[in-house]
Structure 1
Amino acid sequence: MTEFVQIRNGRVVTPSGVIENGRVVVAGERIVRIDRSDRHRARAGTVIDADGRVVMPGLIDLHGDDIEEQFAPRSGAETDPMTALATTDRTNVLHGVTTKFHALAFEESPGDGRNLENAARLARAVDRGTAALGDNRVHARCELADASADAVEELMGEIDVDLVSVMHHAPGDGQYDAESFERHYVEDRNWPAEAVRSAAAERSGMDDASRNRRIARISELARRVDAPLASHDDECRADVETMAEHGAAVSEYPLTLEAAQRATDLGLATVMGAPNLVRGGSLWDNLSARDAIEAGVLDALCSDYHPASLLAAPFVDTGEPLSTRVNRVTRNPADIAGLHDRGRIEVGARADLAVVDPTPTPTVERAFVAGSEVIRTDEGATPEVPSRATGR
């Protein structure tokens, strides 16, 4: 017999609005009823009093590279990939992320642990991590300057790759000029200075024909596994148009309002980093997420490198209804990824849910993945935490 779970007395955020004093009823893995608590008495089963907290869908993170930091917290200090996954998974669920696309850089990067082999090792761990709490998926970030397509193609014979993006980090292309490129890779990424100069020369020397051939190959890999293709750091209309011609469905981190507007005009979904919104602007003085919202050209937010910001983002006042802000980290990214069964509190949807206390800083008190409670942090809690499979 299926056990019912009722979450009562919450501010239930649906795709179209907020139900005050709302109730969500879960049976098995699915949401079976949504209504007001005062219209129905508590019935048999587990009853959870949200006590005025926000009840929202579990967050969908399309791009988070925090697993790489857990894998190599310092230069040369690599950990076991499954340990990195376990730590990252629990940190994300603690911040309400129930579906995570781990953005793994297929890039040869001396000094900071990023290379094709390590990306493949982490991807295998993500795909096989059946003891994880959340639904963990692979986002393959393909650096055009390296043999990323070969590595990803080989990997696709073993595991599921769920999202593919094209990136090309080079001085004078995208967010870096020559000075900022060297500063970022030497100071932030621990590359040797000589390796930075060598990479700058190689990446800047790629001609348009070679670049297009490499993009076309990566695009074909995405089509082969029916994964969305994303561009990365589009700077202008031409960048967006080129990637759209190659079949891109997503523009990640557009650097300018011009690029974001062109992406929207062409039907590409736009995704930006939640830290940009939470901190009040881009770390690299690129397009502000708030400006993109005001212009109506921002569809979804991702954690980028900081899961806590993804949870905080819908509680940043942008002048929009709470449901609109929540959709940007739940329903919209789910739809972009083709996961129409989640990211929304609707009858029939997968019961990925978070009970959030928004003040003084947003914190998750309870989290559910496919109807099972996996995290509980409110006072006196001693829950059993079951293992969750990916649910694919």
Structure 2
Amino acid sequence: MSEVVETTDCTNGTTTTYDVVVEDARIVTPNEVVRGSVAVDDGRIVAVETGEFDADGDTHIDADGRVLMPGLIDLHGDDIEQHLYPRSNAAVDPPMALASADRANISSGITTKFHAIAFEDNPEKDRSPELAMDLVESIRSNDSLLADHRIHARCEITDAPCIDAVEEVLVNDAASLVSVMSHVPGKGQFRNIEKFREYYENDANLSVEEADELIEERISLTEAELSTRIDRIVTAARDSGVVVASHDDETPVEVERLDDRGIDISEYPITLDAAQRARDLGMFTAMGAPNLVRGGSQWGNLATEEAIEEDVADALLADYHPPSLLAAPFVDTGETLSTRVARVTKNPADAVGLTDRGRVKEGARADLILVDPEPTPVVEHALVDGEPVYKAEAPR
């Protein structure tokens, strides 16, 4: 923590001590947008004032009317893979990839990052349980990062070794979120078997024969076996106090079965019926921010815009593109800015029990970003736990 500057208010003789003061901002609070100032001390927001604010601090930021909002909370971002493998089969060391991802996420306003690490036996797509374990260890052991980095263990339940690996991660208290996914041809995202074959041939570089073998292997798994594997993950997560999500839910019946097994979050429901059933059952629903920013799903699934219109989108996820998470709350959905910002801050924080952050209010953790929304949203300042960690103001 840098040395604090003390200033004296001559009107009453009291001494004001703040680490950071942001003045003249459009402050996005949980309920409204107000013009005013925010003071930060010892990692916490200690004052949110409208109008004039006669105070100073070690770091003083004149917002000049730009938007001050909580740091973004990304529950599912797999962009670390792009940093680890800039090209297929051309890997860099995990610490270098993590440092690069850290800076990229901070510049996109993400101050709490859940890396969606794929526990999937798919070397052709640069994924394996061993690589996932290496990434987990790199994130846990790195103490020089700007953002708060956490593990979201994505478990491909069609791969038996991945069940064991994710259980180990949970037993070691290494994950803050876990999700179950099953890329089975004929179901979910790949309910069209030809889409499954096309995806694994083009994106995972499988031959026609290899893709056909994978199709045969996965469709041979019974519902009973898949259910047993889900139960193992949920049990391990419950023992570790970790929230569990599902991935690409397709039907209300499927959602009901997952809810019965203890799933808390429905990520990327691919039909409106599934999203609505998840909401009815009290599950938390999360959709892709790139889906909203791009104007639809690349797979022809449920559009995030439609999910928002039908009130079944509690949170948005960066998925593969962190800048979309910053852009998403500035997409006009006919709602207030506070409501839109909550989907990328307060709501995801609450879903995983991080109630200390994701909101601009006194007492909250001071994860804050100052955003210039025009012509496209960019972050000019970022604070993490009260510390200024990023500054990129354009000349004015």
Q: Shorter-chain TM-score: what band?
A: over 0.9
2:113–2:149 CA contact under 8 A, matched in 1: yes
The superposition leaves residues 129-174 of structure 1 with CA deviations (integer Å, 9 ceiling, x where unpaired) of: 2111000000001111112120112233445211010000011110
2:209 to 174, 180, 194: 194
Distance 1:44 1:276, change over 3 A: closer
Q: Shift of residue 110 of structure 1?
A: 2.9
* In 1, Cα distance between equivalents of 2:383 and 2:207: 44
* In 2, Cα distance between equivalents of 1:263 and 1:44: 46
- Alignment-mate amino acid for residue 242 of structure 1: R
2:170–2:237 CA contact under 8 A, matched in 1: no
1:359 to 349, 353, 374: 374
Does 2:139 correspond to 1:97?
no
Q: Shift of residue 184 of structure 1?
A: 1.1
1:249–1:268 CA contact under 8 A, matched in 2: yes
* In 2, Cα distance between equivalents of 1:292 and 1:379: 35
* In 1, Cα distance between equivalents of 2:173 and 2:272: 36
In structure 2, the residue matched to 1:143 is 156
2:180 to 166, 172, 181: 166
2:67–2:370 CA contact under 8 A, matched in 1: yes
Q: TM-score, normalised by structure 1?
A: 0.94
In structure 1, the residue matched to 2:141 is 128
Q: Which has the larger radius of gyration?
A: 2
Show the 5 A alignment for 1:191-270: 191-270=206-285
Unaligned runs of 5+ in 1: 382-392
* In 1, Cα distance between equivalents of 2:57 and 2:383: 19
1:164–1:230 CA contact under 8 A, matched in 2: yes
1:127–1:159 CA contact under 8 A, matched in 2: no
1:124–1:159 CA contact under 8 A, matched in 2: no
Q: TM-score, normalised by structure 2?
A: 0.93
1:300–1:329 CA contact under 8 A, matched in 2: yes
In structure 2, the residue matched to 1:388 is none
Residue 24 of structure 1 aligns to a residue in which SS?
strand
Residue 217 of structure 2 aligns to a residue in which SS?
helix
* In 1, Cα distance between equivalents of 2:173 and 2:84: 20
Task: Pick which of 211-220 and 194-203 moved more.
Answer: 194-203
* In 2, Cα distance between equivalents of 1:236 and 1:136: 33
Percent identity of paired positions between Structure 1 and Structure 2 = 52
* In 1, Cα distance between equivalents of 2:79 and 2:34: 34
1:23 to 15, 18, 37: 37
The superposition leaves residues 81-128 of structure 1 with CA deviations (integer Å, 9 ceiling, x where unpaired) of: 111111111100000000000001101113121011001111111122
In structure 2, the residue matched to 1:32 is 46
* In 2, Cα distance between equivalents of 1:218 and 1:194: 31
The superposition leaves residues 249-278 of structure 1 with CA deviations (integer Å, 9 ceiling, x where unpaired) of: 100000000000000000000001100000
- Alpha carbon RMSD of aligned pairs, Å? 1.4
The superposition leaves residues 187-222 of structure 1 with CA deviations (integer Å, 9 ceiling, x where unpaired) of: 123233332222111111111111111110011111
2:372–2:379 CA contact under 8 A, matched in 1: yes
In structure 2, the residue matched to 1:384 is none
The superposition leaves residues 61-96 of structure 1 with CA deviations (integer Å, 9 ceiling, x where unpaired) of: 000000012112222111111111111111000000
Show the 5 A alignment for 1:369-384: 369-379=384-394
The superposition leaves residues 25-49 of structure 1 with CA deviations (integer Å, 9 ceiling, x where unpaired) of: 10010000001142x2233543210
2:66–2:370 CA contact under 8 A, matched in 1: yes
* In 2, Cα distance between equivalents of 1:7 and 1:151: 45
- Alignment-mate amino acid for residue 43 of structure 2: E
Q: Shift of residue 380 of structure 1?
A: 7.2
Q: How many residues align?
A: 379
* In 2, Cα distance between equivalents of 1:169 and 1:29: 42
Q: Shift of residue 24 of structure 1?
A: 0.7
Unaligned runs of 5+ in 2: 5-16
Does 2:123 correspond to 1:107?
no
2:21–2:57 CA contact under 8 A, matched in 1: no
* In 1, Cα distance between equivalents of 2:344 and 2:211: 35
